[in-house]
Amino acid sequence: MDKLSLESYLAQSLNMALASQIQGETSYTNSFNIKVEDEGFLFIPRLPAGYIVDSELYQQIFLIANASLYPIYTLLKQNSAYFIPLDTKDIHVQRAFFFPWKKGISKRLIIKDLDDFVQRNKGTRLPLMENLVLDYEKVTSIAIAGNSGSGKSYALTYFLSLLKPISELIIIDPKFDTPSRWARENQVPVIHPNPNRSKSDFVSEINETLSQGLNLILERQRLLYDNPQHPFTHLTFVIDEVLALSEGTNKAIKEAFFSLLSQIALLGRATKVHLLLVSQRFDYNSIPVSVREQLSVLIQVGNINHKTVQFLFPDLNPEGIVIPIGVGTGLIQVIDNEHPYQVLPLLCPTYSTKKGIL
């Protein structure tokens, strides 16, 4: 479909669906205009207007246009109205709503042989979906949230497989479950509970390991002071079910755990020390707010609604985002200098792994 046809199609869709919200004003009466560009489309209101140009109108247009454009384009969900100025001297049309999009829809990677796939894609660029690649050089920390049975462990195993060739891994597994089995198969260090030790003793051991990671960060920072281009090997602390560590732990030990997580999250990026955190939810009981603010890859799998996204995506209204039904589906946001601000539907890769891990 060419640009003129697409502009006409969008204008017609909005004219029919917005009639009640904008008091019958339409593109036919020159109340607004639609302009299609390569990176998205513009809704250009002609002011003064008989309707309010605000975030509520922006979200209404998003709902209508996202459904109308599916599956040719996927609109990138914004938390509030996205205004841009227009290069014109006509005060009536000097501003517009901008609706960024990406071509097509999210598509799942189908991987027949995970080991072969990892060998062929060895490097810091990690494929997550078709047309979505994550550059680990630009990642601070990753969070994967979701209810039981949503596909968290499946997604975590995929990340572990991709990260093993490029990063040293230290796995913390309070449930002594899937990550521990993967670590055993891949000769990776894992910290798991022992029936002869208390919960606080277990978290104290974790704190000691995190403290060593923090010392490494400080050593690397001294090296960067003399040589800002000094190469480092990636180090990733993988913590499964973070909430299980923070609940029911001695207060002082929990505070030390939170403090270490915060310092690693805040200082680790330049020194290539990362956190990969997994939890059913990421409220203030599971991780400190300072850690949540440093997350650069946010993944929510399973049931998506206002309540489930409130911790990873506190400002997001998920209404209107088309999310396929099935295990390992949800939302993803990548915050870096490479991707535009976006919250996208996620379809975790489908793959096979060694029997007995999952």
Q: For residue 356, is pLDDT > 90? A: no
**What are 186-219's pLDDT values in tens digits?**
999 999 998 888 888 999 999 999 999 999 999 9
Give percent of the chain with pLDDT exceeding 90: 71
Instruction: Give the pLDDT confidence score for residue 342 in this predicted structure.
Output: 76
Mean pLDDT over 97-117 rounds to: 92
Mean pLDDT over 71-97 rounds to: 94
Instruction: Give the pLDDT confidence score for residue 340 in this predicted structure.
Output: 62
Instruction: Give the pLDDT confidence score for residue 197 in this predicted structure.
Output: 81
Instruction: Give the pLDDT confidence score for residue 119 in this predicted structure.
Output: 92
In terms of pTM, does the model score above 0.95? no
Integer distance in angstroms from the first to the last C-alpha of the chain?
Answer: 44
Q: For residue 31, is pLDDT > 80? A: yes
Q: CB–CB of 95/119 below 8 Å?
A: no
Instruction: Give the pLDDT confidence score for residue 170 in this predicted structure.
Output: 97
